[in-house]
Amino acid sequence: MGLLFLDMFFVPGHLRGKSYGTRLLALVEVEARRRGCSRAVVETSSFQAPRFYARHDYEEFGRVEFGIGGHARIFLRKHLE
């Protein structure tokens, strides 16, 4: 019952919209399952990629407001089954 903590996941702007992020995330999740992980957690900022993770079945479970420009740090999770 391990935990995948996804940190520093970044796709350069010129590669976005071409499914590279989706494919890379899928490979990471496959490897996490192979290693015995049953859950995944990621943190991102409201101005970064929360919609990307939501499209891949991650759900928000926490938020910490920055207090600057209405932005927040967002914590998301997913069950890897």
pLDDT at 22 over 90: yes
**Nearest Cα to 50, choosing from 17, 68, 76, 30?**
76
What pTM value is reported for the model?
0.88
Q: What is the pLDDT of residue 70?
A: 85
Q: How many CA atoms lie within 13 A of 50 on its CB side?
A: 16
Predicted confidence band at 34 (pLDDT cuts at 50, 70, 90)? Answer: very high
Q: Which CATH architecture has domain 2-79?
A: 3-Layer(aba) Sandwich (3.40)
